[in-house]
Amino acid sequence: MQLYVFNENRVLSGVVESFEYLRWTRRYSQCGAFELKAVATAENLALLTLGNILWKSDDEEAGIIEQMELSQADREIVTVSGRFATSYLSRRIVWDTETLNGGLSACVGQLLINHIVSPGNTDRQIGFISYADDGLTDPVSTQISYKNLMDAVTGLCEAADAGVKTLFSPADGVFTVRLYKGPQSQAVFAREYENLTSQTFTCGAVDYANVALIGGEGEGAERVFSVSGVGEGAERRETFVDAKDLRSEDFGDEYAAALLFRGQSKLAELIMTQSFDASVNPHGNLRYKTDFDLGHTVRILSKKWGVTLDTRITEIEESYDGGGQSLGITFGKGALTLSQKLKGVI
């Protein structure tokens, strides 16, 4: 693995020959991040400056240096950190009101083209960013006004259980935003199979809701309401979603769908949280980026805890230091298939 540095004009400046530590965190529906620590040599200080681009030769994405720190104890150390190139989207807002009706890829494309790729105000354009429409058809029906562009895009992706990544092409310096759905993997992770070295299971229902009452336009008895979700008895957990900003004149016959989409998006945020954080044995029976990767849906087993979780890999933290590479994996929200609670935990 080589660690290349490009300047703000996406021109190769050099290679980081040695470093103390690198944390490279890939995320599925959100923007990834990184942190690099290296001895503060003249060469490293010249390369590791704000705005420069860090690219690992074995990865599709690149990181933008957003923070730099110099420290001294026994040695002078430079520490730089930042986010992946999807963070370029955070430099723009949805400048006005966008009415989105259609498939996920088309709607995200509408946002990116209008506000960063080819906006009406050319001052807002970032010429080296493009968008590839991958044809995801998850239905979207909503309005977005004045929101941070990256938050708008990642919010739509989270609601649709879709991933977003911004690919870097070193040959021409172009960044391409793409959406994707991670495939089903045959990988099974378990301490019993010796491919996990540690694991932490977390579940919670503090903010959980499964029924949303959505309030649309109008006042009092004239207000339009819709309901999303199902539940009964003590298992029914309700929440209210204010959608007065959605106007029927903007959506026409799709107004009811817009209200339901707003409610479904809120319920997606208030899902019952269930996740595994685990350290993967690099010498186990599963190979990173071959048997499993970011976005893949895999199975987690813990016979001792009585838990089986079929879930998506939502985050992978790659760590590099003198001891080599290690992987920390977050297996995100999913449904318990064998047990609704932990059993026999010691």
Give residue 336's pLDDT band: very low, low, confident or very high (50, 70, 90). very low
| Token pair for 294 | 């970011």
**What does the pLDDT read at residue 345?**
28
Give residue 332's pLDDT band: very low, low, confident or very high (50, 70, 90). confident
Residues in a beta bridge with 167: 61, 176
**What does the pLDDT read at residue 128?**
97
Return the number of other C-beta atoms located less than 10 Å from residue 205's C-beta: 12
Name the pairing type of β-strands 273-280 and 238-242: unpaired
Residues in the chain: 346
**What does the pLDDT read at residue 333?**
62
Boundaries of every domain in the chain: 3-85, 88-180, 184-205+272-336, 211-269
Do 194 and 200 form a contact (C-beta atoms < 8 A)? no
DSSP, collapsed to helix, strand or coil, labels residue 237 as coil
Q: What is the pTM of this model?
A: 0.85
Class (C level, CATH) for 88-180: alpha beta
CA distance from start to end of the chain? 40
CATH 3.30.70.141 fits 3-85, yes or no: no
DSSP 295: T
Query: Average pLDDT of 313-317?
Result: 93
Specify the CATH number of the domain 184-205+272-336. Answer: 2.40.30
For the stretch 169-218, pLDDT in tens is: 999 999 999 999 999 999 999 988 989 888 888 888 888 999 999 999 99
Q: Has residue 337 got a pLDDT over 60?
A: no
CA distances from 228 to 10, 134, 180, 262, 269 (A): 46, 28, 26, 9, 14
Tokens 């903010």 correspond to: 207
Edge-to-edge strand list for the sheet holding 163-169: 129-132, 174-180, 163-169
Q: Is 130 left (phi over 0), alpha (psi -120 to 50) or beta?
A: beta
Which of these ranges, 18-27, 45-54, 244-253, has the smallest mean pLDDT? 244-253
DSSP, collapsed to helix, strand or coil, labels residue 119 as coil
Do 93 and 121 form a contact (C-beta atoms < 8 A)? no
Return the number of other C-beta atoms located less than 10 Å from residue 49's C-beta: 15
For the stretch 233-292, pLDDT in tens is: 999 999 999 999 999 999 999 999 999 999 999 998 888 877 777 788 878 899 999 999
Name the pairing type of β-strands 174-180 and 129-132: parallel
Do 92 and 111 form a contact (C-beta atoms < 8 A)? no
Do 309 and 332 form a contact (C-beta atoms < 8 A)? no
Q: What is the tally of helices (H) and strands (E) in the chain? A: 5, 21
Give residue 340's pLDDT band: very low, low, confident or very high (50, 70, 90). very low
Q: Has residue 138 got a pLDDT over 50?
A: yes
Q: Is 167 left (phi over 0), alpha (psi -120 to 50) or beta?
A: beta
Edge-to-edge strand list for the sheet holding 238-242: 225-229, 211-215, 238-242
**What does the pLDDT read at residue 272?**
83
Closest CA to 108 of 88, 124, 122, 89: 89
| Token pair for 44 | 């490293």
Query: Average pLDDT of 1-28?
Result: 95
